[in-house]
Amino acid sequence: MVGGVSMGQAPFRVVIPLAALAIGFGGYFSGPPATASAQQPAEPLEFNRDIRPILNESCLICHGPNETTRQADLRFDTDDFIGTVVVTGDAEASPLYQRLTTEDRIGRMPPVSSGQSLTDEQIDAVRRWIDGGAEWGAELADADALPMPERVVDFAREVRPILSQNCFTCHGPDEGTRQRGLRLDVAEGPFADRGTFGGAVVIPGNADDSLLIHRVTATEDRVRMPYRLGLNTPVMPGTAEDALSLGEIETLRLWIDQGAEWQSHWAFVPPERPSVPPVADPEWGRNPIDSFVLSSLEAQGLGPAPEADRTTLLRRVTLDLTGLPPSAGDVAAFLNDDSPDAYENAVDRLLGSTAFGERMAVEWLDGARYADSSGYQTDAPRSMWRYRDWVIDAYNSNMPFDQFTIEQLAGDMLPSATLDQRIATAFNRNHSQNGEGGIVPEEFLVENVVDRVSTTGTVWMGLTLGCARCHDHKFDPLSQREFYELFAFFNNVPERGKAFKYGNSPPMITAPTDEQFAELAELDEELAAAREALATLETEAGDAQREWEASLAAAGDVDWVLRDKLLVHHPLDGDIAGVYTSEPVFLSPNVTSDVRGEQEPELAELPVNVKLVDGQPLFVPGRIGEAVSFDGQRFIDAGDIANFTYNDPFSVAAWIHPTAGDGVIVSRALAGDQGERGWGLYLADGKLQVNLSERWQDDGVRVETQDVLPLDEWLHVLMTYDGKRVPASFRVYVNGESVELTPQVDGINNPMRTREPLRIGASGPPPEDSGGTDSAPRFQGLIDDVRVYTQALTPEQAAVVATADSLTEIANLPAADRTAGQAEKLRLAFLDQYASEKIQEAWRAAGDLERKRAELWDNIQTVMVMEEMDPPRDTFLLVRGAYDVPGEQVSPGVPAVLPPLPEGGENNRLAFARWLVEPDHPLTARVTVNRFWQMLFGTGIVKTAENFGLQGEYPSHPDLLDWLATSFIDSGWDVKSILREIVISATYRQASAVTPEQLESDPENRMLARGPRLRLPAQMIRDQALTVAGLLVDQVGGPSVKPYQPEGLWDQASQRYDQSEGNDLYRRSLYTYWKRTLAPPSMLTFDSSTRETCIVRTDRTNTPLQALNLMNDVTYVEAARRVAERMMTEGGATPEERVAFAYRLTTAHRPRPEAHDVLSSAFHDYLERYQADRAAALGLVSVGESPRDETLDIAELASYTMVASMILNLDRTITKD
C-alpha cells in the first residue's frame, strides 16, 4: 500500500515523480518495459556527443538549472541523478529508463503532451549508456559546448511577480512614492526614456546592457536594487537579504534576452473560452474540467488518483452541497443504486434540497460580513436576519448570479422594486456601525462608505480597493481618484454616520415574512369587512344620529373627550388634578445597559399625586372652561407618569396662550441652558420645539416648527412621536393642522429615562453632567386642557383633539359649515356613547382590529437597506483618506484598467451593479467560480481568493479558470449548474489518499492529483454533531437563536446572554446569534470569521483547544449522550454492534478493526468506572436541555456517551475526505 492505495489495483493511476522513484519506489512498477531497438551501433557511445544532446533537448526544460521551473527537485544538467534514477550497469532497473519506455501514456517521460518524446534510437542510446556504466562526460569548453534548450519565460507567471514583490513600492502605480520617474507596472515603463532620470532600464534582447540587470546584480549595497523595505517606503542601503535570488535574476535576464515581451495582467483581460486540451488518457475524464487538470498533470509526469469509494464520495458531496452529513438511509440507497447515473442523481437531489441554500449562505455571509450586532464598543443588537433569509432563498431558487449581484448592490433602484429586492440591498448595510457617544458622524459616514467599496471590491472583483483610499495603490493600477470615483456610487445613502446604538439605523424598512404577510392579509380582510359592516350600520343609523344631534340643543353644554390610549388628561378647569383612563396604564420600565428596552412594562400606580410648585394656582378663563396662568415661576408637578423611552410612541396636546417666546409647555426631563435628558414640548425663540434627549448635542432627536407662533392668542399644539428615533418620527399640529418641521438633532441612542416627574409649565434642573447652571425657561401665559396619549395620534384624531367646541356647539352648526375635526368629533362621540349597542359593538370591533393590525405591523422586524439621495451627495477625493480634508470633487466612475461603463446610460449605483456582470468584465465571473472551487477543494485555482491583483497568486490552472468563468456566464450565471459541473467531474471524485512524497511536493493539492481532504468548517462540525444525534431542528429562516455558550461571557460587555430554549437550541449554526466582538467561541475555535470585516478566505488551524471544545462543550456532550441513546435503542444488542453503529452513523464508514477494538475496550473501561460511581454517570448524562431516556441504565448510558464523544472527536468525523 502507498498512501492507502493498493499498488496491485487496476488500473493504477498514481504516477510518482522521478525523484520519489529514486528514493525507493521504483520496485512498485511491474511488467516488462517496452523493448527498444536491439541493433548496436558500430562505434562506442560518447556522452557529450550521444547522450547530453538528448538530455538538453528533451529533459532540461523541467529538470535543468532553473529552480523556478524545476520539477521533482531533479536535475539532468549535473551527474547528481546517476545513482538515483539511474542504476549504473542496469538500464531495466533504472527508473529513468522505465519512465522512457513505459506503455502508460500518463507516466511516460518526457510527457506526451510536451511533444518532446524520444525516438527509438534515442531510447536505445540511453539504455546502452546506462548498461555501459553511465559515465558522465567532462564539461565541454565554451567553444565546443552543445546548444542548451532555452526555456521560454512566461512574463505573467514568472516576471511580473518578481517586479510586483520587489519593485512596485518605489516603481509602481503610486505616484506619491514613485522614484526616478520609473514605472515597472505598465507596459511602457521599462522601455521608456525617463528624460532627466536617464534612458530605458530594459533593452529588449540585450540583458547585459539593460540597467535593470546592472542594478539587481550590483555588488555595492547602495547601488543594488531592491533597497531595504521600511514600513511604507524603502530605506537605503539594501542588504544581502534584500537582493534578488540567483533564480530571479536569471529569470529577468532570460526574459530580456528573449525580447522582453510584456503581457497585461491576466486578471484584467476579459476571459475567453479556451479550447479543451488533448490528453493522453481521454477515457479518464467525465467533462472538460478533467481535460484541463489531466493535461497539467501529464505535463509534469503525474497522473490522477483513483476514484473515491462510493461511501466517501457521497459523504463528501453531501457535506459540500448541504453542509450536513448523509443519513444512513441516504448511504444505503446510494450503495444499492446500480444505475449509471446514481451519483448524478444524488447530486441533483442535494442541489434541490433546502439545505443547499443554507450551506451556500454560510459562505456568502462571511463575505457579506453579516452579523446580529453593530460592532464597535457597545456591539449592541440589531435585526438583519431577513437579509440572511433572502440569501438562503436566492440560492435555493437558483437565482442567476447576475441578478443576485444587481439586487444586492442596487435592488432599491430597480423599476418598481419589490420588498425582496430592497431587502437584498442590506448587503451593503451589514457593515459595523458606530453609535458611541462623542464620535464625529462625518468620520463614520466616510468609514461606512469605505467599507462598502472595499467589500464590493473583494466579493465581486477580488481586488484590494481599500489600499487606494489614502494614496494610489502600491501594486495594482488603481489610483486614489479612482477609489473615490467608486466611493461616489455608494455615498448617496441618507444616513447619519452616527448609528443608533441599539437596533437598526435608517434607512430601514419593515420586512414581513410570508407568514406575517399572510397574517396581515387575514387581518386586512377582517378589517375591511368590519369597516364595511360599520359603514352600513352608520348609514342605516343616519336618522338616529341626526335625532341625537338635534337633542343636544336641549341637553345643555355636552362635550366628549377622545379616550382611546389616553394616559392622563389635565382639564385644568378649576382643579390641577389629572383624569386617568379607566384601563390599566403601563409604563416602560427603567432601561439598563444589558437589555435596553427589552423588559416587560411596569403598571403605573394611579391616581398620581399632583401639586402646584412655586406659587398658588391661579385659574382664569381658558379656551375650554378655565385655564391655569403661568408667570414663569409656578408650574404643575404632575407626578410619576409618562416616563417614556425612545421606542414608546406617544402624543402630547395642550391649549396655550403664550405671552413670551420661550418656555416649557409640558416635559418630563432634566433641562437647562446646556442640555436635557428626557422629553419635552417647548417654545424656543417663538417656535414650537419637541425634543427627546439623553445628551443635548449628540444623543437626541429634536425638531422645531419652521414658523414662529404668534403670542397673546389661543393656539392648540399637539405633537406625536412614533417610536422610531428619527426626526421623521415627529408630527406637530397647530390648531389641528400639520406644520412643517426643521430637524435639529437627528437620532437618539439611549433611553433618556429620568426620575423627574411630569411637569406642566417647567422642566427639571439641568442634568448634573451637562455643565449647565440655569433651568430651561418656565412658561409664561395660559395653559389649558393638557393631554398625554400612549400612541401617535392620526391626523384625524389630532383634528378631533384640537376641536375645543363642545358637542352642543358643533350640533348647532349646519352640517355643511362644520370643519373636518368637528364632524369627526361628533361622529366619534355618537359611536362611543350614544349609538345603539349593535353599532357600538361594530365600531369597537373595527377599532380593535385596527389596533391589532397596527400592533402587528409595529412588531414586525425591520432591515436596514440602501436608498438614494436626491440630489446625490457630493463626493470628494479625501486627502490621505481623512474625512475632514476634502480635495477635488469627483463623479462616479470605474477604474481605467477595467472596461468602461456603457455609454449613454445613467452613472449610478444600478449602472455599476450591471457593469459588474457584463460578459466582458474580466473579474466577476473568475472571482466567483474561484470561490466555488475554493469551497469544494479548500484552495481556489487562485489561492488568494481575496486578491486577483498583481500581488495575488497566479492561477494554478489559468485555462481551467477561464473555462469555468465563461461557462458560468454562458449558462446564464447558473450557480447550481456550475457547481454540478464541478462535483460530477473526475477531478472532484478522486480519492484523497496521499503519499508522503505527494504531501511534500504538493501539500495543498494545487495540481489536483488527488481528491480534496479538509477539516470541516466550524458550522459544519456543530451541525453534523446535532444531525447524527437526532437533535437538529430542520427549520429554514427566522430570527437568530442563542444556543449554549459559556456562562458570563457577555458580562465583560455589560450585556446579558439570554440562552434560547427548546428547538431554538438545536437550529443550524447558520442561525446562531452572531455578536461581532464576542462571536460564538466554539465557532471561533474552529477558525470561523468574526464578521467584523469581509472575509472570503478563512485560515485553517489545528490547536488543542479544538479537541477540548469537542470533548467539553455542552453541545457536543449532549450530542454524544443522544448518540449513546441511539446506540442503545437502535444499534444492536452487544457493545461491539453498538460501537460499529455509532461509528457508521457519524462517519458513514465501517470502523477499521483496530479502531473498533479501541472503542470497544474504552466502553468496558468506562462501564467499570461508572458502575462504581453512578453519581458521576448521572451528572454526565444530565448535560444539556434535552431530556434523557430514563429507561436506560445510567452507567451504560454514560459509558456509551464517552465512546460517542470519542467518535465525535475523531479526525475521520470532522474531516471531509
pLDDT at 69: 59
Amino acid, single-letter form, for residue 1198:
A
Backbone angles phi, psi at 234, to 5 degrees: -70, 150
pLDDT at 555: 79
How far apart, in whole angstroms, are the C-alpha atoms of residue 75 and residue 1035? 60
Three cell numbers at 294?
489531466
How far apart, in whole angstroms, are the C-alpha atoms of residue 374 and residue 504? 9
Three cell numbers at 1190?
430514563
Beta bridge partners of 747: 700
pLDDT at 1198: 98
Half-sphere exposure of 609 (CA within 13 A, CB side): 2
- List, run by run, the mean pLDDT of 10-residue segments along the chain (1217 residues): 32 33 30 38 73 82 68 80 86 88 76 69 88 77 52 84 86 82 84 78 88 87 76 63 85 89 92 95 96 95 95 98 97 96 98 98 97 93 97 98 99 98 98 90 96 98 97 92 98 92 93 97 97 93 89 85 93 92 50 38 67 89 96 93 90 98 93 69 96 79 96 98 92 98 86 86 72 75 97 96 95 94 94 92 94 93 96 96 96 96 92 97 98 98 96 96 98 99 98 90 94 96 98 97 92 86 97 95 94 93 94 98 98 97 97 96 97 97 97 98 98 96
Three cell numbers at 787?
393631554
Long-range contacts of 103-108 (CB under 8 A, 24+ apart): 103/34, 104/15, 104/303, 105/280, 105/281, 105/298, 106/13, 106/15, 106/280, 106/281, 106/294, 106/297, 106/298, 106/302, 106/303, 107/15, 107/301, 107/303, 108/280
How far apart, in whole angstroms, are the C-alpha atoms of residue 920 and residue 923? 9
Amino acid, single-letter form, for residue 80:
D
Amino acid, single-letter form, for residue 723:
G
pLDDT at 40: 45
Question: Which domains, ranges and CATH numbers included, belong to the chain?
Answer: 18-144 (no CATH), 155-263 (no CATH), 560-805 (2.60.120.200), 1111-1216 (no CATH)
pLDDT at 231: 47
pLDDT at 37: 39
Q: How far is CA 97 from CA 16, 32, 41, 110, in A?
A: 14, 12, 19, 11
Q: How far is CA 137 from CA 89, 144, 187, 1003, in A?
A: 16, 13, 44, 37
How far apart, in whole angstroms, are the C-alpha atoms of residue 951 and residue 285? 33
pLDDT at 1182: 97
pLDDT at 766: 64
How many Å from the N-terminal Cα to the C-terminal Cα in the chain? 18
Which candidate, 20, 15, 6, places its Cα nearest to that of 85? 20
DSSP 1002-1066: -TT-TT--S---EEPPHHHHHHHHHHHTT--------S-B-----TTGGGGGT-------GGGGG
pLDDT at 1207: 98
DSSP-assigned letter for residue 411: G
